[in-house]
């Protein structure tokens, strides 16, 4: 292969630094799944239409199928495998308790997206359904189900686990009074 | 305390929420290569050749699979009887005839997915295209009435003389409906990794039935069945589309054979629209003859669907009509028109879902015509025995579903006259529909073993595609062994665990559970007969040969669906505020996972009603809507208040497990409940699915007498 089509990229994934030659066509999703063998991040469409590939890049939720690795030099990526270093994230527990999954294929994306969404709400970001956008007061612990649904609508679930996914997010969001999550 | 009949959290939940659960192409393999399909761009014609030089020159490309170098398959080898319809599509590259757009004409195998894809773009395919027939029409000369439809019932069925009775009936309804084609679109697209070791083959596949798939692959490859292992430990949904092996699995097998390395195939959405089947579109006509008191005397249900040139496939669209209501005279006719289109096949409740949309919409129309409450009309026409077979029902309880549902849903708040309730710009309405789904059981095998430390392992070939089967079977095994669940390991999703039916037809848990139960009981018997467990442990197997139920009963699940909708007067936008499903499905092993499945099916039914249309490309073939931006499925924002409940039923005539499956009944009545609610809200009768805002636009306000 012509060496012009590769570049050296330094990227941190779940706290581990990887420095390697990257094919310019490689997406973050394929890097995770095929090269780093972190298969928890799923490929549902490879097109930015389903949310199954959601990961956190520098703290924000991102569709990894739409990110070329070559654009992520010095970025820090957290995947479903790296959400919590000492066990299971409370949201992952809530998903199991609420049966917020069936086949499980959308689940890592739903969880990562929800973590990103909760963080956005914590920072007061409004959504399309937030009343009075100009003077929006958004708080995670009081986020309505409608708000949660809106913010999670980029994550499709063909098994239709939606109501219990919202239950699980609600359970965790309600405990957020002091930002412990 | 027993483990069954309890809400137990999903056994594989922790593995799924942490990303540890491995799906088909997530297994590691040294030296793995990637295959990318090259697909026909014409809908009908002949393949002349695939020019591969440019593709082979792409760095990283290993080889190109073509009709010239492909392994010859044994088209007449012994395959699973369930796969007869799937067979012709599996004979990849064996013929140069092109019969649908998107058919596989070559595949590029490379070191990386990127190189495979670049290589595929470089293959030059030379074809001679011919004129193709692509449009489904009713009354076409080339349409046939098939001998059997998918549920094995004939294409033409009659009792009494429905046509004559209808002609003389005091009250007559003659109405037509259509439903769009639907894709299963499981979140995990069809995928497989094939690994050859000499003449032994292992396929990690996204597949609903590893044992049957292994049998079919062995037959087509001319291998002894024991040489083929199929592994499907985790499957990201299937909804019928993965209940038979589809082309991606065979492509991985053939490509791996060609390059002598493990090969992964993971289709993208576009490819899967033509290579992994779909629910065919339907054009239906229903005639109902009744007395002025609402008693139905005749029903005529006709449907026309499409099939491909490869196989004659017909959904059982009209089957439920023969047993739903007391009607002395009944005729059902299925027509299918062969076209130059991809092969349609199973998608969740194949036939029942589109057919009951039509029947239950017609019942609503009839209720309006008679000025009756739609629930009372159904109750009035409740049969005492199965009107088709004359057999007694093992249990039916449709009336209870309707009554309990009405109470819970607040049906008494509904104003029968359309357009009577509003909330600002929104017109509000409520609708109801009944549902049914047959109870199938199939023979299965299972094994149970115990080691000297009293640890139990139960094995079955079945796959859990998200249904919760792994958990329910774990519960069943623990009860049969009379030990806590924590003492039992359940292993599934491997063909080598023994023959077991696929996860489909809502028959899985009852069929597999029966085999597991008897293997576990036999193991207990051996433990007590031997006075303990020897050092090497003990093992017992079971094979349920018979279809373990008395035959002199009619066995079906029933349900009632309720929907409350709002329709925007100005834009025609529809929102579903609430849905409730009440189901009579016998014993529920795990109320938590069963409810998830029923709610999920109702959400898929909402998609069928309001958004899901696989639009055919009637100029070039295949489908226009090829991805999730064009083929809309429900998202979080669409799904508000949805509830499902199961009646407590004890039915001794359903087989050992005493439960009917819950995977499909949830979709069956949903669409009609929603469109009947739209009628109640607006006075507009939806005849064609999905509902399109443009069909409601303006008409809402006009109907409401406001413009
Ligand atoms: S795989 Fe990235 S959005 Fe679907
Ligand atoms: S759990 Fe199957 S797609 Fe969401």
Tens-digit pLDDT profile for residues A1-42: 455 789 999 999 999 999 999 999 999 999 999 999 999 999
pLDDT at B669 over 60: yes
Mean per-residue pLDDT, B272-282? 97
Higher pLDDT, B159 or B3: B159
Output A21-25 pairs: Cβ under 8 A, ≥24 positions apart: A22/A69, A22/A70, A23/B112, A23/B114, A24/A68, A24/A70, A25/A68, A25/B114, A25/B118
Contact A34/B at CB under 8 A? yes
Q: How far is CA B367 from CA B156, B370, B401, in A?
A: 27, 5, 19
Measure the CA–CA gap between B353 and B346, rounded to whole angstroms: 11
Domain boundaries, chain B: 24-131+186-238+242-275, 282-439+555-703, 440-548
Would residue B664 show up in a list of annotated catalytic residues for this protein? yes
Measure the CA–CA gap between B694 and A22, rounded to whole angstroms: 48
Tokens representing A7 are 């570049």
- Most informative mutation of B15, B187, B597 for ligand 2 (most atoms within 8 A of CB): B187
Residue B409: half-sphere exposure toward Cβ, Cα within 13 Å: 33
Chain A residues within 8 A of B22 when measuring between CB atoms? 39
Contact A160/B at CB under 8 A? yes
Residue B160: half-sphere exposure toward Cβ, Cα within 13 Å: 19
Measure the CA–CA gap between B280 and B302, rounded to whole angstroms: 15
* Per-residue pLDDT tens digits for B338-351: 999 999 999 999 99
What's the gap in Å between A39 CA and the centre of ligand 1? 14
pLDDT at B29: 84
pLDDT at B88: 97
Mean per-residue pLDDT, B577-589? 94
pLDDT at B233 over 80: yes
Cβ separation of A47 and B597 shorter than 8 Å? no
Chain B residues within 8 A of A1 when measuring between CB atoms? 59-60
pLDDT at B226 over 70: yes
ipTM passes above 0.90: yes
Q: Distance, in angstroms, between A173 CA and closest chain B CA?
A: 17
Minimum mean pLDDT range among B373-377, B409-413, B443-447, B531-535: B531-535
Residue A174: half-sphere exposure toward Cβ, Cα within 13 Å: 9
Number of C-beta neighbours around residue B577 at 10 A: 16
The percent of residues in chain B predicted with pLDDT above 70, rounded, is: 98
Q: Distance, in angstroms, between B536 CA and closest chain A CA?
A: 36
Q: Choose among A47, A106, A165: nearest Cβ to B187.
A: A106
pLDDT at A33: 96
Ligand nearest to the CA of A51: 1
pLDDT at B654: 77
Per-residue pLDDT band at B550 (split at 50, 70, 90): low
Per-residue pLDDT band at B237 (split at 50, 70, 90): very high
Strand partners, B197: B200
pLDDT at A136 over 50: yes
Measure the CA–CA gap between B266 and A63, rounded to whole angstroms: 19
Q: Choose among B13, B28, B627: nearest Cβ to A49.
A: B627
Cβ separation of A47 and B14 shorter than 8 Å? no
What's the gap in Å between B538 CA and the centre of ligand 2? 38
Cβ separation of B17 and A95 shorter than 8 Å? yes
How far is C-alpha A171 from the geometric centre of its chain's CA atoms? 18
Q: Distance, in angstroms, between A1 CA and closest chain B CA?
A: 5
Strand partners, A11: A18
The minimum-distance atom of ligand 2 relative to the CA of A158 is 3
Map residue B219 onto helix, strand or coil. Answer: helix
Tell me if A103 CB under 6 Å of ligand 2: yes
Helix boundaries (H) for chain A: 28-30, 90-97, 107-122, 145-151, 162-174
What's the gap in Å between A48 CA and the centre of ligand 1? 4
pLDDT at B707: 39
Mean per-residue pLDDT, B425-436? 97
Q: Which residues line ligand 1 (CB under 6 A)?
A: A 43-53, 63, 65
Helix boundaries (H) for B262-397: 269-275, 321-324, 352-370, 374-380
Closest CA to B193 of B109, B276, B265, B96: B265
Measure the CA–CA gap between B62 and B55, rounded to whole angstroms: 9
Q: Name every residue whose Cβ is closer than 8 Å to that of residue B392 and which is 6 or more positions away in sequence.
A: B385, B386, B552, B553, B554
Omega of the bond leading into B183 within 30 degrees of 0 (cis): no
Measure the CA–CA gap between B316 and B109, rounded to whole angstroms: 40
Strand partners, B330: B159, B299
* Per-residue pLDDT tens digits for B441-450: 889 999 999 9
Closest CA to B113 of B263, B300, B11, B299: B263
Measured in residues, chain B has a length of: 707
Place of tokens 């046939």: B144
What's the gap in Å between B236 CA and the centre of ligand 2? 7
Tell me if A160 CB under 6 Å of ligand 2: no
Measure the CA–CA gap between B645 and B585, rounded to whole angstroms: 10
The percent of residues in chain B predicted with pLDDT above 90, rounded, is: 88
Chain A residues within 8 A of B235 when measuring between CB atoms? 103
Domains B282-439+555-703 and B440-548 in one fold: yes
- A68, A25 Cβ separation under 8 angstroms: yes
Tell me if A99 CB under 6 Å of ligand 2: no
- B189, B24 Cβ separation under 8 angstroms: no
* Per-residue pLDDT tens digits for B479-523: 999 999 999 999 999 999 999 999 888 888 889 999 999 999 999
Place of tokens 């690994």: B195
Residue of B nearest to A29 (CA): B113
Mean per-residue pLDDT, B519-533? 91
Ligand nearest to the CA of B235: 2
Cβ separation of A101 and B13 shorter than 8 Å? yes
- Most informative mutation of A105, A114, A155 for ligand 2 (most atoms within 8 A of CB): A105
Backbone angles phi, psi at B61, to 5 degrees: -75, 130
Burial class (CB in 10 A: 0-12, 13-18, 19+), B197: exposed
Per-residue pLDDT band at B389 (split at 50, 70, 90): very high
Cβ separation of B237 and A50 shorter than 8 Å? no
pLDDT at B25: 97
Q: Best residue in A96, A104, A167, A169 to probe B by mutation, most B CBs within 10 Å?
A: A104
Cβ separation of A152 and B633 shorter than 8 Å? no
- B565, B577 Cβ separation under 8 angstroms: yes
Q: Distance, in angstroms, between B249 CA and closest chain A CA?
A: 18
What's the gap in Å between B530 CA and the centre of ligand 1? 56
Minimum mean pLDDT range among A147-156, B295-304, B511-520: B511-520
Per-residue pLDDT band at A181 (split at 50, 70, 90): very low
- B467, B493 Cβ separation under 8 angstroms: no
Closest CA to A76 of A15, A7, A9, A21: A15
Task: Give domain B282-439+555-703's CATH architecture.
Answer: 2-Layer Sandwich (3.30)
The minimum-distance atom of ligand 1 relative to the CA of A154 is 3
Topology at the third CATH level for domain B440-548: Aldehyde Oxidoreductase; domain 4 (3.30.365)
Map residue B403 onto helix, strand or coil. Answer: helix
Ligand 2 atom 4: residue of nearest CA: A157
What's the gap in Å between B699 CA and the centre of ligand 1? 38
Instruction: Tell me which CATH code domain B24-131+186-238+242-275 carries.
Output: 3.30.365.10
pLDDT at B222: 97
Radius of gyration of chain A (CA): 17
**Local structure of residue B208 (DSSP, 8 states):** S
pLDDT at B700 over 80: no
First to last CA, chain B: 65
Closest CA to B438 of B176, B690, B153: B153
Chain A residues within 8 A of B236 when measuring between CB atoms? 42, 103-106
Burial class (CB in 10 A: 0-12, 13-18, 19+), A133: exposed
Q: Best residue in A63, A117, A163, A166 to probe B by mutation, most B CBs within 10 Å?
A: A163
pLDDT at B704 over 70: no
What's the gap in Å between A45 CA and the centre of ligand 1? 5
What's the gap in Å between B237 CA and the centre of ligand 2? 7
pLDDT at B532: 85
Q: Choose among A47, A103, A162: nearest Cβ to B639.
A: A162
Per-residue pLDDT band at B98 (split at 50, 70, 90): very high
Cβ separation of A45 and B627 shorter than 8 Å? yes
| H or E element at residue A12 | strand A6-13
Mean per-residue pLDDT, B40-67? 97
Measure the CA–CA gap between B603 and B640, rounded to whole angstroms: 10
Ligand nearest to the CA of A66: 1
pLDDT at B546: 66
Per-residue HEC secondary structure of B45-102 comes to EEEEEEECHHHHCCCCEEEEECCCCCCCCCCCCCCCHHHCCCHHHHCCCCCCEECCCC
Q: Choose among B17, B237, B629: nearest Cβ to A158.
A: B237
Tokens representing B680 are 């109640």
Angle between helices B469-481 and B508-529 (to 10 degrees): 30
Measure the CA–CA gap between B358 and B175, rounded to whole angstroms: 9
pLDDT at A177: 64
Burial B221-241 (b: 16+ CB within 10 A, else e): bebebebbbbbbbbbbbbbbb
Place of tokens 């309880």: B397
- B475, B4 Cβ separation under 8 angstroms: yes
Measure the CA–CA gap between B473 and A21, rounded to whole angstroms: 47
How far is C-alpha B123 from the geometric centre of its chain's CA atoms? 35
| H or E element at residue B266 | strand B263-266
Measure the CA–CA gap between B176 and B629, rounded to whole angstroms: 30
pLDDT at A134 over 90: no
The minimum-distance atom of ligand 1 relative to the CA of A50 is 4
Residue of A nearest to B464 (CA): A103
pLDDT at B547 over 70: no
Choice among B417, B543, B664, B694 that is catalytic: B664
The minimum-distance atom of ligand 2 relative to the CA of B188 is 3
Cβ separation of B19 and A108 shorter than 8 Å? yes
Q: How far is CA A12 from CA A33, A78, B705, in A?
A: 15, 8, 63
Mean confidence (pLDDT) of chain B:
94
Chain A residues within 8 A of B266 when measuring between CB atoms? 43
Chain A residues within 8 A of B633 when measuring between CB atoms? 156, 158
Quote the pTM value.
Answer: 0.97
Angle between helices A162-174 and A107-122 (to 10 degrees): 40
Chain A residues within 8 A of B186 when measuring between CB atoms? 103, 105, 158
Radius of gyration of chain B (CA): 26
């Amino acid at each position: 292969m012509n060496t012009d089509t590769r570049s050296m990229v330094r990227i941190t994934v779940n706290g581990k630094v990887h420095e390697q030659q990257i094919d310019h066509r490689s997406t973050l999703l394929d890097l995770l799944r095929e090269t780093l063998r972190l298969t928890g991040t799923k490929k549902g469409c490879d097109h930015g239409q389903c949310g199954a590939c959601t990961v956190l890049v520098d703290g924000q939720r991102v569709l990894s199928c739409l990110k070329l690795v070559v654009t992520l030099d010095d970025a820090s990526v957290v995947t479903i495998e790296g959400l919590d270093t000492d066990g299971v994230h409370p949201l992952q527990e809530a998903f199991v308790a609420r049966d917020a999954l069936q086949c499980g294929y959308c689940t890592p994306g739903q969880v990562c997206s929800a973590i990103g969404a909760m963080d956005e709400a914590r920072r007061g970001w409004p959504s399309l359904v937030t009343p009075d956008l100009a003077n929006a007061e958004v708080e995670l612990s009081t986020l309505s189900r409608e708000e949660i649904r809106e913010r999670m609508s980029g994550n499709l679930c063909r098994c239709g686990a939606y109501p219990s996914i919202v239950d699980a997010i609600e359970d965790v969001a309600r405990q957020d009074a002091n930002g412990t999550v | 305390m027993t483990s069954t009949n309890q809400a137990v959290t999903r056994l594989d939940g922790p593995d799924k929420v942490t990303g540890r659960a491995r799906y088909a192409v997530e297994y590691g393999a040294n030296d793995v290569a990637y295959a990318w399909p090259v697909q026909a761009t014409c809908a009908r014609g002949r393949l002349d050749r695939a020019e591969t030089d440019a593709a082979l020159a792409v760095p990283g490309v290993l080889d190109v699979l073509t009709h010239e170098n492909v392994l010859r398959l044994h088209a007449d080898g012994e395959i699973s009887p369930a796969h007869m319809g799937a067979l012709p599509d599996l004979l990849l590259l064996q013929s140069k005839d092109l019969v649908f757009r998107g058919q596989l004409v070559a595949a590029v195998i490379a070191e990386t997915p990127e190189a495979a894809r670049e290589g595929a773009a470089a293959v030059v395919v030379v074809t001679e295209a011919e004129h193709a027939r692509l449009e489904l029409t009713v009354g076409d000369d080339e349409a046939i009435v098939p001998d059997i439809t998918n549920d094995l019932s004939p294409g033409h069925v009659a009792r009494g003389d429905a046509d004559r009775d209808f002609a003389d009936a005091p009250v007559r309804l003659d109405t037509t409906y259509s439903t769009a084609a639907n894709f299963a679109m499981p979140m995990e697209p069809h995928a497989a990794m094939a690994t050859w070791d000499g003449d032994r083959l292992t396929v990690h596949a996204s597949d609903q039935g590893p044992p049957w798939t292994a049998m079919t692959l062995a037959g087509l490859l001319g291998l002894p069945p024991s040489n083929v292992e199929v592994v499907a430990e985790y499957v990201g949904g299937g909804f019928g589309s993965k209940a038979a092996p589809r082309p991606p699995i065979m492509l991985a097998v053939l490509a791996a054979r060609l390059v002598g390395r493990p090969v992964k195939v993971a289709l993208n959405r576009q490819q899967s629209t033509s290579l992994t089947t779909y629910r065919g579109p339907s054009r239906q006509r229903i005639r109902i003859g009744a007395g002025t008191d609402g008693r139905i005397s005749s029903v005529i249900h006709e449907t026309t669907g499409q099939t491909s040139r490869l196989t004659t496939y017909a959904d059982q669209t009209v089957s439920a009509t023969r047993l739903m209501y007391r009607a002395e005279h009944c005729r059902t006719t299925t027509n299918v028109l062969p076209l130059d289109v991809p092969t349609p096949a199973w998608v969740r409740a194949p036939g029942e879902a589109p057919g009951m949309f039509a029947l239950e919409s017609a019942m609503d129309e009839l209720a309006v015509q008679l000025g009756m409450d739609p629930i009372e009309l159904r109750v009035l026409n409740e049969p005492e025995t199965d009107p088709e077979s004359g057999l007694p029902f093992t249990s039916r309880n449709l009336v209870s579903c309707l009554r309990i549902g009405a109470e819970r849903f607040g049906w008494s708040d509904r104003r029968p006259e359309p357009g009577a309730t509003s909330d600002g710009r929104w017109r509000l309405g409520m609708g109801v529909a009944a549902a049914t789904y047959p109870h199938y059981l199939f023979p299965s095998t299972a094994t149970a073993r115990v080691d000297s430390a009293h640890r139990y392992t139960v094995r079955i070939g079945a796959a859990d595609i998200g249904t919760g089967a792994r958990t329910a079977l774990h519960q069943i095994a623990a009860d049969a062994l009379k030990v806590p669940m924590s003492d039992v390991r359940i292993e599934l999703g491997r063909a080598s665990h023994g023959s077991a039916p696929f996860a489909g037809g809502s028959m899985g848990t009852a069929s597999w559970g029966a085999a597991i139960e008897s293997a576990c009981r036999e193991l207990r018997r051996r433990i007590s007969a031997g006075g303990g467990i020897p050092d090497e442990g003990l093992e017992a197997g079971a094979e349920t040969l018979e279809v373990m139920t008395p035959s002199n009963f009619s066995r079906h699940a029933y349900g009632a669906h309720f929907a409350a909708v709002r329709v925007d007067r100005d834009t025609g936008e529809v929102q579903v505020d609430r849905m409730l499903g009440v189901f009579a499905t016998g014993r529920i092993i795990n109320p938590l996972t069963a409810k998830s499945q029923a709610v999920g099916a109702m959400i898929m039914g909402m998609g069928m009603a309001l958004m899901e249309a696989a639009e055919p490309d009637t100029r070039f073939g295949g489908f226009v809507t090829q991805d999730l931006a064009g083929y809309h499925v429900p998202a979080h924002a669409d799904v508000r208040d949805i509830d499902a409940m199961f009646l407590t039923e004890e039915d001794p005539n359903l087989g050992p497990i005493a439960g009917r499956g819950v995977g499909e009944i949830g979709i069956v009545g949903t669409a009609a409940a929603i469109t009947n609610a739209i009628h109640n809200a607006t006075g507009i009768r939806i005849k064609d699915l999905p509902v399109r805002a443009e069909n409601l636009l303006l008409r809402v306000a006009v109907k409401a007498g406001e413009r």
